[in-house]
Structure 1
Amino acid sequence: MLRAFLLVLMTFVCSISSAQIRNESQFNPMSNRFEESVTDTLINRNEITVQISGKTSYKDYKVINFDLDSIYVDTTMSIQTYYEFNQQKRDQFGRMSLPNQGQTYNDLTFSFYNSNLFPDIGARTKHDRYYSKEDVVYYYVPTPTTQLMYRTGMEQGQVAEGIFTFNSSEQINSSISFKGTRSLGHYVSNLSDLGSFRVTSNYHTKNERYYLRAHIAAQDVINQENGGLTDDSIEDFESGDSNFKDRARLETNFVGGESILRGNRYYFDHFYKLWKGNDSIPSKKFSHLSIGHIFNYERKHFQYNQEGTSDIFGNAFTSDIEDEVENFSLYNELFVQFRSPYVLGDFVVSLSNYDYTYGYDRILISEETVINDRLDGNVVSVGAKWTTDLKKFNLKAEAKSILAGNLEGYFLGGGASFKLDTVTSFYADAFTHNKSPNFNFLLFQSDYKAFNWQTNFKNEQRTGLLFGIRSAKWLDAEVSVTNLDSYTYFQAEGDIVKPIQTSQSIQYLKVNVRKEFRLGKFALDNSFIYQEASDNGDIFPVPRFVTRNSLYFSDWIFKGDPLQLQTGITFNYFSKFNLQLYNPVLGEFAVQNEGEYGGFPMFDFFINAQVQRTRMYLLFEHINSDLTGYNYYSSPGVPYRDFMVRFGIIWNFFI
């Protein structure tokens, strides 16, 4: 009854809101004023009293990413910021969340464009909530700035994040960030507990010859594990019996399991301009010659602990499970960069050294085999990158190769883009990538006997071509074709998982389209993915299509103290396919061929509002869960979340 009421409420809210609208204007949340108002009442409204330099505007508050691209500190509200309001702060279209906040996502679609030459520890389900060095951002702000974020969890918990950024001078900008997540969840032994602490700083000299940026990150991702529902509990769940609406009554395969990823990273990069053209004239008009250095040290630990053992994973050496693997890596790179405003563009050559250790504190000796305790080595690689702008064209090329050491691999990539006008551009990219599988494919040890192996897998070879269009006038669309050779994956037989490397080539086609239609204050935002894999889903399973459609109303209401209202309903759906199985011992998803999942609709109703620099989000999630059948799963044996109400807020402060 409540779900049906919410569907009616959406229409009612939209109709009430449209009776309180005002003419559109460009609201600047940073200055808390309307910069280009169309009504006299808005032009004469009260403005902020804080006085800063007359030359300072919201454009001076910048966020700088790993690639040194900058954007303004965003205090606006849009359908895209609604999509990104989650624990990861990313749009999760094409991913299926496990039931509790702070758990991982099951990927419904894939992208293989990645130039990294080196394998990682594995446990990939933990890393979507782990800040890599590419995820850390830096700030450039004229005054201290704070952002607070809060979102309710599932049953006794929440996500809370605080970001404080400041400058001691125009040359030195720093930030301190902490994000904590804790959510009990609705199922037995399903707690999520995550923490991430980051400190960043960036500096440049007054003459802009020397630049430095650095960060420290300390993180942990902790999840209780239960192995999913038992066969009897799956029947109880799908029956819709009211006695089991309290999900804690459903029996799971075990309790007392826990998986943990911990990591610490120390990173800095800096460069000095040996030659800067004419210092007295803006430097963008002149060539630069720079020499630089990158340093990155990171250590990660992955643990799986379980009180007792579970038959679903086979026999064990011990009565309790205590698995732990560690990975230490040290990366140093020297580079020379030449930048020219002419045809030569931006050219970088680099020489790097990568030292790694992955392993355990034991050697496993059995009647059948001996499994060593670690993989370690030292690798030397070279690279070159080039970009240039030619009128409306942008060209780029990149090459990397390992010269010596315990690993082999290379990356070759290139692309071009053409900017037709201010709202439309076309682009194309091609790449070939040869890289070792992650370390947990090559070596893994566990107290569970079936989860022990040491393999001799070859490098994976990935070759891809993509082209697309970005246009606010027409649509955003991208077509990619990827060929996978020596593809490496985990195969599930029941709940026991083994690493497999296939000898057949797999061709993967993906078509991604997004278009928003507007009519007055109403909009329909559509995202659609079509994909095919040549192996018929036995090795590389993907749903044939994935869609997300949001019908919503958005407008500024009230004249005295304007409030932006955004309300609507979102529909998510993916076609049936062999949804991958979550395995907590490895922290990985594995291919299973025992059943198809999907084909169920998911409706979310939302009411979002913004007052000055405060954004509020109210989400009625999966409102149709009682109406369309209990066949919704995010992994075999792991149901997707039921209907629930979520609330969140983002609050920006500027001094």
Structure 2
Amino acid sequence: MGKLFFFLLLLPLISFSQTKDTSTVKSVKADIQLYKLYTLKKDTIVIDTSLTITDEYKYNYLRKDNFGLLSFANEGYLYTQLDYSKKKISLFPQFGFNAKHIAYLSDTDISYYSVPTPLTDLYFKTVMRQGQSLDALLSLNTQKNLNFTVAYKAIRSIGDYYNNLTSSGHFRFISSYFSPNKKYYMNSHFVGQDIFNQEYGGLKEVSQFEGNEDSFKQRERIDVFFENASSKLKGNRLFIDHSYKLKESNSLVFKHQAFYEYKFYEFLQSTVSNRLGNAEFTSNLNNKTRFDVFYNKAGVSFLTKKFGELYFFIDNYVYNQFYGSNTSYADLLNMPKNLHNRINTIGGQYDFFHSKWRFNVLAQNSISKRQNSTLEASAKFNFDNINSIEIKAQQTSKIPDNSYLFFQSSYENYNWRNTFKNEKETSLKVNATTKWFSLAAQYSLYNDKMYFYNLAERIDSLVVKPLQFDKSIQYYTIEIAKEFKYKKFGFDNRIKFQDVKQNAKIVNVPYIITRNSLYYMDHVFKSAMLLQTGVTLNYFTNYYADDYNPVLGEFYVQKQTKIGGFPMLDFFVNARVRQVRIYLKAEHFNALFGERNYYNTPNYPYHDFKVRFGLEWNLFK
């Protein structure tokens, strides 16, 4: 099946590449505005080589603004999600192991390119200790209507703590094409990625970290829970999205999207840990969970310039999650070897553009035995090029992710086969952009919320089980952003308020998250270089942060220890010379003189003071 799908994906590329086009790329220098990337949602972005405070925020392993995310001590390992509004929702049940997926590139994370001359994008940054982070991309249009892009992102960092190596790689091959008459459009990609981490399980004694004993300033000397455990998330995906329009305007458009993805999550431990309870073996534990999914979506739309687009579709989502062999614990529970399901849905979507207005409505409901559904509506009004307001509403009922329903392990406590109700969520969001400030607000109502919880309620014992909360949870948030400028100085501010109303501590969030940057920018060396330097403060109030379990690759709810209430100060000096942006940062420099009370979870510390540097370089041939 996978080989056939790969051949079908390459077939249009082979045939189209044989078509001659007199408009092939010339050697003359092209306008920077012609170098573009876009998503499947048709959001188009012009490639920008300028240096702004936004570029400073995006200069990290994820290559995006990570406000509301707190990286663990070793970059590329895990992230504490402070901003609950950023939680992703998928209508279909997913693999699970969600803590490991934040750096995993999904189909919506892939961008497609259109460039008049070959484009090279290079990212390099030093890491926490012994290693480097790199992201390299090469994109070219062999013809005006045919693009090929190859990219590879990788990180390797030993980290400060014993048994905390991070080593990950993400390969992307991307292609896009449209026919000369612009009736046929195709976007496709292949992504292969693996995320490997040594799992140290957190600190056994936080007093070793917080104390003043000189020997523990060498962090690898601090006692950790796991000295020989590791995990790997690996996945390959083939994806194609294409459409054919019968005529240029007021036309029927036939659409098809499909992907095949294979994943596995593996937890290895050479010597089992009493912290996780009884185990079937005393050594060389290997828990491997595999996941296959094949997705097809086909539909037809009626597109007009005056009334927008009306789209009807049907899709088929088939998945299989299985284990290499049943454990004796699974046998005692009479558990099957795999979890297989097929979900079919039908839906309709309406998009309308007129002058300053944009409307979108989506309704989707399953026609298979297990019900899931979503209803979405949004409206946006652009007052002008700067001021706009958007309102979104969504109601979703989804099957819980597979790791809640089905799990097998060589550890006795980590075997279950459950039946839970659908999770329900109703959300209302408002986004406003003005010349004075930006504002985002959200209200969400959760019913039958799924979560993991440590029944032992102790850090030194992990008996983590999936549970479902049978009452309602209300989540409120409002975020305000504003940048002040005076001459060559800038003061950029973003603050988020969150609150939760619930009968138990299930969804736990910090009440305030804030980021404030005071910086100076000016041209130096006879305007040959643009210099940017300043200080950034990140802060969040204390709260019961979720803890992490490496066997599940998931965060779990805890209500024993609060973290937060500590400032994180970074000093940065950045520069731009032509298409090269150079970054130098002293990260968390207040750790040199402040209290050692900075944590991601109750026993996973945030990183100490680090000096890191790197660059971004765009080459236009």
Using structure 1 for the length normalisation, give the TM-score: 0.88
Contact 2:70 2:600 in 1 (8 A): yes
2:243 paired residue number: 271
After superposition, give the CA deviation of every residue in 1:28-84 in whole Å (9 maximum; x if it has no partner). Answer: xxxxxxxxxxxxxxxxxxxxxx98457x41111111112122111121211111111
Distance 1:536 1:184, change over 3 A: farther
Q: CA deviation at 1:114?
A: 5.7
Give matches, 1:223-302, under 5 Å.
223-231=197-205, 234-276=206-248, 286-302=249-265
Distance 1:213 1:128, change over 3 A: same
1:43 paired residue number: none
2:446 paired residue number: 484
Q: CA deviation at 1:378?
A: 1.7
The question of 1:305 aligning with 2:277 is answered no
Give secondary structure in 1 for the equivalent of 2:90. coil
Q: CA deviation at 1:468?
A: 2.4
Equivalent of residue 192 in structure 2, options 192, 212, 218:
218
Equivalent of residue 475 in structure 1, options 437, 443, 451:
437
Distance in 1 (alpha carbons) for counterparts of 2:227 and 2:173: 36
Q: CA deviation at 1:396?
A: 1.2
Give secondary structure in 2 for the equivalent of 1:195. strand
1:458 paired residue number: 421
Give secondary structure in 2 for the equivalent of 1:437. coil
Give secondary structure in 2 for the equivalent of 1:468. strand
Distance in 2 (alpha carbons) for counterparts of 1:352 and 1:527: 40
1:374 paired residue number: 338
1:553 paired residue number: 520
The question of 1:329 aligning with 2:303 is answered no
Q: CA RMSD in A?
A: 1.6
Equivalent of residue 77 in structure 1, options 51, 68, 71:
51
Q: CA deviation at 1:389?
A: 2.2
Counterpart amino acid of residue 368 in structure 2: A
Distance 1:563 1:186, change over 3 A: same
Distance in 1 (alpha carbons) for counterparts of 2:561 and 2:325: 38
Contact 2:537 2:569 in 1 (8 A): yes
**Higher mean displacement: 301-310 or 68-77:** 68-77
2:163 paired residue number: 189
Distance 1:536 1:578, change over 3 A: farther
Give matches, 1:401-420, under 5 Å.
401-405=365-369, 407-420=370-383
Distance in 2 (alpha carbons) for counterparts of 1:114 and 1:577: 22
Contact 2:37 2:45 in 1 (8 A): yes
Q: CA deviation at 1:580?
A: 0.9
Distance in 1 (alpha carbons) for counterparts of 2:310 and 2:522: 46
Give secondary structure in 2 for the equivalent of 1:458. coil
Using structure 2 for the length normalisation, give the TM-score: 0.93
Q: CA deviation at 1:262?
A: 0.3
Give secondary structure in 2 for the equivalent of 1:370. coil
Contact 1:317 1:447 in 2 (8 A): yes
Equivalent of residue 385 in structure 1, options 340, 344, 349:
349
After superposition, give the CA deviation of every residue in 1:106-138 in whole Å (9 maximum; x if it has no partner). Answer: 111212786632111111111111110110111
How many residues get paired? 590
After superposition, give the CA deviation of every residue in 1:319-373 in whole Å (9 maximum; x if it has no partner). Answer: 132101011000111121222121x212221111111101213334549632222
Distance 1:51 1:445, change over 3 A: closer
Equivalent of residue 434 in structure 1, options 394, 397, 405:
397
The question of 1:110 aligning with 2:72 is answered no
Contact 2:280 2:328 in 1 (8 A): no
Distance in 1 (alpha carbons) for counterparts of 2:160 and 2:71: 14
2:466 paired residue number: 499
Give secondary structure in 2 for the equivalent of 1:625. helix
After superposition, give the CA deviation of every residue in 1:134-157 in whole Å (9 maximum; x if it has no partner). Answer: 101111011111011110011111
Q: CA deviation at 1:481?
A: 0.5
1:132 paired residue number: 106
1:539 paired residue number: 506
Distance in 2 (alpha carbons) for counterparts of 1:262 and 1:399: 33
2:181 paired residue number: 207
Distance in 2 (alpha carbons) for counterparts of 1:509 and 1:639: 28
Counterpart amino acid of residue 344 in structure 2: V
Which 5+ residue runs of structure 2 have no aligned equivalent? 1-24
Counterpart amino acid of residue 177 in structure 1: A
Counterpart amino acid of residue 229 in structure 2: G
Distance in 1 (alpha carbons) for counterparts of 2:472 and 2:619: 53
Give matches, 1:175-186, under 5 Å.
175-186=149-160
Q: CA deviation at 1:288?
A: 3.3
2:551 paired residue number: 585
2:495 paired residue number: 528
Counterpart amino acid of residue 604 in structure 1: D
Counterpart amino acid of residue 390 in structure 1: H
Give matches, 1:566-605, under 5 Å.
566-605=532-571
Contact 1:98 1:635 in 2 (8 A): no
Counterpart amino acid of residue 528 in structure 2: P
**Higher mean displacement: 534-543 or 314-323:** 534-543
Contact 2:327 2:410 in 1 (8 A): no
Contact 1:302 1:325 in 2 (8 A): yes
Contact 2:279 2:411 in 1 (8 A): yes
Give secondary structure in 1 for the equivalent of 2:367. strand
Give secondary structure in 2 for the equivalent of 1:404. coil
Distance in 2 (alpha carbons) for counterparts of 1:474 and 1:372: 59
